[in-house]
Structure 1
Amino acid sequence: MDQNQSLPTAITDLNEDSLAHCATFLNLHDIFNLATTCKYLRQAAYSESIWQRLFRERWQQLLPPLDSSVASGGARDAYLARLSALQQFKFEDPLVVDMLTEPEPYNLMLLDRDDVFVSRGSSIRMMKIPKIFGRSHSLTTLNDHNARITCMRLFPLTETSLFRSEGKKSGNFLVTSSSDHSIRLWWKGSCQKCFRGHSGPVSTLSDKLLGDGSSKVLASGGEDGTVRLWSLGSSGKRGKSALKATLHGHEKPIKLMSVAGHKTSLLVSIARDSKVRVWDVTASSTIRSSCCVGLTSLPGAPINIKCHESLLYAATSSSVVAVDLRTMQKVLTAAAYQPFLYSFEMIPSKSLICTGGRGSARLWDVRRNQDALKPEPIAELDGHRGAVNFLHMDPYKIVTGCPDNVDVNVWEADSGAHANSLSCWFTESADSSTTLSSMAVNGCRVVTACYAEDLGLLRCRDYTNASRPIVRHDEVVSKFWDSQCYDDNNNDTSDV
């Protein structure tokens, strides 16, 4: 090579200050990606100026901490500490919105940013959460179903071309199944499509859409023992041409379905007899009535299933087992709970699972139990009365609740440490007739529904703008909390 010929310039040739200046034009997700590339770029991504800017953008009324007032992590540590505290509901002053309802249970509940969807019998109520305290909430009732709603799912509009004619795609659309043999797709408070094909009640829907690109497929399972595939791109409101395939094989009603993590064309279904089938729904195989590529049977009644990569985690009766979808062989027992399990959730990215039993929930680390003859939990989440039927789990927190208790408990996801207790009724105490009927959590928000003999209450808590952290006498208050008043103006934390 000619010695006079200059070498190409690489990004690492820039000094740290220049890289930090360039990174100020990136969003939070891009900054995290930058930090994972190499040690030099990670040092630039952790620059104080970047996290000072992110701190100001998210919490505009709060000045970011100075280098001298915080630990070596500076504004970055302060940013992440405050974000974790908000996500874990460690504050005393959330925005609380109460709505009085009939003294009847809400069966299913979903929380989607500013919208709450609850089902009762054959109807759906959609409530818009006010952004400013004191403003009245809006309530819409959807009554198109003729029988009990059995399942509700939210899917991103960006994953389908279904509503392309309605303008810019954003947010999610709602899908519901019902005992009236139908599936309905909702958007902006009205039914957009109705799918019919099952010969009995539709019992469940897939937790994700199948396939890649814009031609994704929705799967449904029915009391008739069939799995049916629906094209979301079909024309016509009644969806007559939407049925893509009917898959036979199960002898009992379908209880649960989940899309495989390592291949989006694989659908896992489990029936009430705990027989598991794996279906390949690629374009070449959906023209056949049978495309089962794997089957197995599990002991006990199915409680819940989750797919992660090539593994199926199935909770049945008193244990959670992992099954390799490539071989259909059991690879480990991830959790065991006597005498009976009532709920199961997991955080695949952290190898953590949580199970709800009677009187307590338990936190398990899958990695610790890989070679153990008897799995052991890493934390006991106790203090409940009755069965822990309500369970939410995300990278920050676990939220647990019982029908017999009007309080829900919040725990740190990593350690199981108790973070907060939230009353779901008008007062902290309630008589024996008061029942918690449903719960939903999304980011910094939690919604609960309770009812008694003569009254019901739908309560929403929003910690996005919380400013007063919980002060406990048995622990040291964070240095980021005792000297400042916080304010949060950003609702979206999905990129953290």
Structure 2
Amino acid sequence: TIVSGGDDGTVRLWSRSGQPIANPFIGHQGVVFSVALSGNGQTIVSGGNDGTVRLWSRSGEALGTPFTGHQGGVWSVALSGDGQTIVSGGIDGTVWLWSRSGEALGTPFTGHQGAVNSVALSGNGQTIVSGGDDGTVRLWSRSGQPIANPFIGHQRVVFSVALSGNGQTIVSGGNDGTVRLWSRSGEALGTPFTGHQGWVWSVALSGDGQTIVSGGEDSTVRLWEGSPQGWLRGACEQLREHSVLRDPDSSFEPAVAWRARRVCEREVWGVGK
């Protein structure tokens, strides 16, 4: 099941073959910026330029009344795996957590300087991640308490964030053209993924945190390996023809170079196993 939202103010549900499921969901006044689907495909959430968050059944029936609280457009929404918790972020710089009934769970999460462009929620609904115009990625507990300091690395705006199923790995994309992987403590996992020519609009992460997909202003979709093994493979391949590995004795620190070569041979190239 696929869900989409658009400039025409509608939310639409589709089968894998591209056939519409039910009529368009009508209720938002203006653009629908973000949509999400529960794990079982039975509940849909949407956020729009009218400042509301809306919950829908598969048939397009509105589940309760619109969730109101944001001052301005809702840029991003996400739904926990069980469909019981909704998170939203908006142009007002706040992150909100909601129950299915539309009740705000605590007070809005504040800290971003400028719009919150993207939010994501761990499978169990206990961890929230957000990215914004201030160039930071922020991790929050369910109660709205920051988990670690803001993650700083992107140059300018963060457009998209995602979380692995267990909430341990975070990925982000921004207008500096990079995709970045982070630990829960805000530590950068490896070097930024570069390749996009222009802004990275959207990122997603597989449940196990091993595979990242990104889409950008350059009209390309790119797939990346997110595991430490992936970073090691990439580093070794870049160094394969470098003198530091071809002739470790010639390097500035030969002992370190020899160890690096042995790691690449053993862990990546399958030599000496």
Q: State TM-score, norm by structure 2.
A: 0.69
Cα distance, 1:256 vs structure 2: 0.8
**Matching residue of 1:307:** 121
Cα distance, 1:350 vs structure 2: 7.1
> Partners of 1:377 and 1:386 in 2: how far apart?
21
**Matching residue of 1:107:** none
Which of 32, 51, 60 lines up with 1:202 in the alignment? 32
**Identity %, equivalent residues:** 23
Which of 388, 393, 401 lines up with 2:205 in the alignment? 393
Task: Rate the CA distance shift 1:268–1:382 in 2: closer, same or farther, 3 A.
Answer: closer
**Matching residue of 1:189:** 18
Task: Rate the CA distance shift 1:196–1:328 in 2: closer, same or farther, 3 A.
Answer: same
**Matching residue of 2:191:** 380
Alignment check: 8 A CA contact 2:47 2:77 kept? yes
Alignment check: 8 A CA contact 1:351 1:365 kept? yes
Which of 399, 404, 410 lines up with 2:224 in the alignment? 410
**Matching residue of 1:250:** 70
Task: Rate the CA distance shift 1:390–1:266 in 2: closer, same or farther, 3 A.
Answer: closer
Runs of 4+ in 1 over 6 A off after TM superposition: none
> Partners of 1:478 and 1:177 in 2: how far apart?
46
Please give the root-mean-square deviation of Cα atoms over the aligned residues, in Å: 3.5
Gaps of 5+ in 1: 1-172, 370-374, 421-469, 481-496
> Partners of 2:19 and 2:219 in 1: how far apart?
35
Query: In terms of Rg, which structure is larger?
Result: 1
**Matching residue of 2:45:** 219
Alignment check: 8 A CA contact 1:412 1:419 kept? no
**Matching residue of 2:259:** none
> Partners of 2:87 and 2:177 in 1: how far apart?
31
Counting only pairs closer than 5 Å after superposition, residues 437-476 of structure 1 correspond to structure 2 as 473=240, 476=265
Which of 321, 332, 339 lines up with 2:148 in the alignment? 332
**Matching residue of 1:177:** 5
| Structure 1 letter corresponding to 2:86 | L
Aligned length: 232
Gaps of 5+ in 2: 242-263
Cα distance, 1:382 vs structure 2: 5.0
1:222-245 CA-partner distances (Å, limit 9, x unpaired): 21112222222x5xxxx5xx1222
Q: State TM-score, norm by structure 1.
A: 0.41
1:145-195 CA-partner distances (Å, limit 9, x unpaired): xxxxxxxxxxxxxxxxxxxxxxxxxxxx22222222222222243223122
Alignment check: 8 A CA contact 1:410 1:419 kept? no
| 2:105 corresponds to 1:293 | yes
| Structure 2 letter corresponding to 1:364 | W
1:251-309 CA-partner distances (Å, limit 9, x unpaired): 21111111246x6422111121122222211xxxx3xxx62222232313223211123
Cα distance, 1:400 vs structure 2: 5.3
Alignment check: 8 A CA contact 1:379 1:416 kept? no
**Which of the pair has the greater relative contact order for Cα pairs under 8 Å at 6+ separation?**
1
Alignment check: 8 A CA contact 2:71 2:91 kept? no
Task: Rate the CA distance shift 1:399–1:257 in 2: closer, same or farther, 3 A.
Answer: closer
Counting only pairs closer than 5 Å after superposition, residues 39-50 of structure 1 correspond to structure 2 as none
